[in-house]
Amino acid sequence: SYELTQPLSVSVALGQTARITCGGNNFGSKSVHWYQQKPGQAPVLVIYRNTNRPSGIPERFSGSNSGNTATLTISRAQAGDEADYYCQVWDSSTVVFGGGTKLTVL
């Protein structure tokens, strides 16, 4: 079965740039979506189809997909960005989520 690999945790200083990666085989041909989940809350879509931001998501959130790695970039990180982040793709007729990355803002 298809697998997505994310780092368990990423730390970033307040105001700096955080990058969260998501790896998988033949990634370049897939659309990657990203979700943010804060404690006790439902996930929120923050990036879809590799690079697109839904309405209401700050421009500080951006995405890229190249080769075998997709990256969620959070610029000017704020305390409120602390959360778990999940990448997601479709593989054949099934959905695959990455294991999630806990972002800590120092």
Question: According to CB under 8 A, which one of 1, 39, 56, 59 is a site residue for other proteins?
Answer: 1
Q: Tokens 């929120």 map to which residue? A: 44
Tokens of 60: 């500080």
Q: Which is nearer to other proteins, 60 or 102 (CB)?
A: 102
Q: Which is nearer to other proteins, 7 or 99 (CB)?
A: 99
Residue 71: in which H helix or E strand, if any? strand 69-74
Q: Count CA within 13 A, CB hemisphere, residue 3.
A: 4
Q: Which is nearer to other proteins, 58 or 99 (CB)?
A: 99
Interface characters, 67-86, with other proteins (x: CB under 8 A): -----------------x-x
Report CA-CA distances (Å) from 104 to 2, 49, 65, 88: 28, 25, 23, 21
Report the interface residues with other proteins, using CB under 8 A.
Answer: 1, 31, 33, 35, 37, 42-45, 48-49, 54, 84, 86, 88, 90, 93-100
